[in-house]
Structure 1
């Protein structure tokens, strides 16, 4: 209450001066700011009120000044499905025509060094499950695969694995070679009895980044390695990436009939994978493209040859 007394006294003094006759000015300079502003000079900045400050901010921000009827542009939504092209605008080729053009690009190459590659595109969502599997083609593309089998060296599984074509069989010797960086195999299988030893050896740091670490999910930790070796020798893996599955489907020296059987097996296998997906997931085949190591891709029409085609299967059967 001590701070309010001078104010009340000052107001009472002002009222007394205003009621007296002949007094035209009121000594209320202590309540006015004009004297302080005048003392700063004519170029002094103006003191703005809160209302003036609000108007100035509104004039510098045109986004907030828009009328209610105006629509603000919305950000583009992220694409949930992979982009598809109109197949009607693309030229499609029969199998014989595609092989003919590809061989023209591969003139002078060795028939076994160049591979036919097939790319299968899906109509698929980006966040959906991917197609991934392994199959053995009727005419294997690569038969010189080196397979390592981790199992007890004195067991019956070791003898069966060697007779089935395994290049390396054992436990401790393989563990030491892998730790030293000597990885002389393309596939690795582990027998269930050796799984604990393999995990204790810590091979995942070396084999994991290379995609060679055995796991039950990939079907490379098995009870009978010899039975799996029959499928691995000449077999191939495929995996969907960005809505496309790619896999080597043949060698340059394959005949059109051999290529036809491999392509049919590959497409039928993919259709089975699609059938095993959930009913809620919509994934369909969109395009099949055949290419090679040095050639562009040729979309296939699904036909073996045209009726009026001048090229025959016999013309492409010679390498």
Structure 2
């Protein structure tokens, strides 16, 4: 019953048909994020693309100016000096054959997987395990790189990977309810800017069709795209 009442209160005064400017949307969502934990603020975007076509795929990474507020556990496939660099940069798990066996056994206690290029022969054999979870290292996303220290730091600092789903939807966590309104707005702008820059050549018509913002337990609000500066 308490959950029902809380949801009812969260939706009170919300106009589901209105397009909110960014400032009002952030303010409204923050004021209604009253769960007993620090709710994640999430963005969802419907894009005018059909990702079944290779020239309409939207994928990339963005470093949010204020991070995500989430603790990211990072695994790195590396050996020798590169393994030591990864550890010093703050990687949570570092290994080669030993890490392969752990992951292949189904244990994945991490959120991001990074590999040095010389490890991809080994890591490539984990495609069926890492791929479905979106954890497969990829050069285009900066997760296959000789500069493992920088990749680890970027992941820890709140770098967000994005990839459009079948229905043309991209979504991501862009902060926490405890963030200031200014920081959340900055992160939204940075994420939308990254999506705009990732616009594929094959996209036709309106690219940013719909953008909405919500908190983990709260209502979703439609955003006026013009107010984001997109």
TM-score (norm 1): 0.58
- Paired position in structure 1 for 2:63: 136
Corresponding residue SS for 2:149: helix
Q: Report the CA distance between 1:291 and its aligned residue.
A: 1.0
Task: Give the unaligned 5+ runs of structure 2.
Answer: 1-15
The one-character-per-residue Cα deviations of 1:133-174 (angstroms, maximum 9, x if unpaired) are 11110111144211111111xx22112111111111121221
Corresponding residue SS for 1:209: helix
- Paired position in structure 1 for 2:129: 206
- Give 1:12-161 correspondences, 5 Å limit: 90-110=17-37, 112=38, 114-125=39-50, 127-128=52-53, 129-152=56-79, 155-161=80-86
Say which is worse superposed, 164-173 or 218-227, in terms of deviation.
Answer: 218-227
Structure with the bigger RCO (C-alpha within 8 Å, sep 6+) is 2
TM-score (norm 2): 0.78
Over the aligned positions, Cα root-mean-square deviation in angstroms equals: 2.6
**Take 1:171 and 1:243, find their aligned partners in 2: how far apart are those partners?**
36
Residue of structure 2 aligned with 1:187, choices 91, 112, 117: 112
- Paired position in structure 1 for 2:179: 254
Corresponding residue SS for 1:222: coil
Asked if 1 retains the 8 angstrom alpha-carbon contact of 2:212 and 2:220, the reply is yes
Corresponding residue SS for 1:140: coil
Asked if 2 retains the 8 angstrom alpha-carbon contact of 1:117 and 1:247, the reply is yes
- Paired position in structure 1 for 2:198: 273
Corresponding residue SS for 2:19: coil
- Paired position in structure 1 for 2:161: 237
Q: Report the CA distance between 1:94 and its aligned residue.
A: 2.9
**Which structure's CA Rg is the greater one?**
1
**Structure holding more strand per residue:** 2
Residue of structure 2 aligned with 1:296, choices 205, 209, 219: 219
**Structure holding more helix per residue:** 2
Asked if 2 retains the 8 angstrom alpha-carbon contact of 1:126 and 1:243, the reply is yes
